[in-house]
Amino acid sequence: MRKLARALREEFDAKVDIEVTPGDAVTGNRFRFAVLSPRFRRIHHLKRQDLVWQVADRLLSREEAFKVLMILAYSPNELELRPTRRASTNGKRRVAATR
C-alpha cells in the first residue's frame, strides 16, 4: 500500500496517513487512508472520492484494491492531521486526526 500512499502524495501534493487493520489468514491486513491536500479546497466531497479512487484503480490490482477499506479526502481548512500512535484494545494500529 506504500505505492498508493506515494501516488496520492504525488498526485495531490498531499499528506497521507494510513491506518492498518489486521485481517485474518485469508484477507490479510486491510488499510484506511486519510489524504490532506490543499487541492481539495474547492472540490465537492463526491468529486474528491472520484479523484482518489481513480488513482487507486489505476495503480492497484483488484486484489490489492480489495484491501483498501476507505480513502478519506480533506482540505487543510477542514481538518489538520497529526498522526499519533496510541494503544488500542482491539489490536489495531490507530492514527488519530485532530483539529
Q: Please write the tens of the pLDDT for every residue from 45-84.
A: 999 999 999 999 999 999 999 999 999 999 998 865 555 5
Specify the pTM.
0.75
Which helix (H) or strand (E) segment is 18 a member of? strand 15-21
CA dist 56 and 64 (Å) reads 9
pLDDT at 93: 53
**Confidence check: pLDDT of 98 > 50:** no
Using a pLDDT cut of 90, give the percent of the chain over it: 69
Which helix (H) or strand (E) segment is 4 a member of? helix 2-12
pLDDT at 1: 87
Site of grid cell 502524495: 9
Domain 2-74: give its CATH code: 3.30.300.90
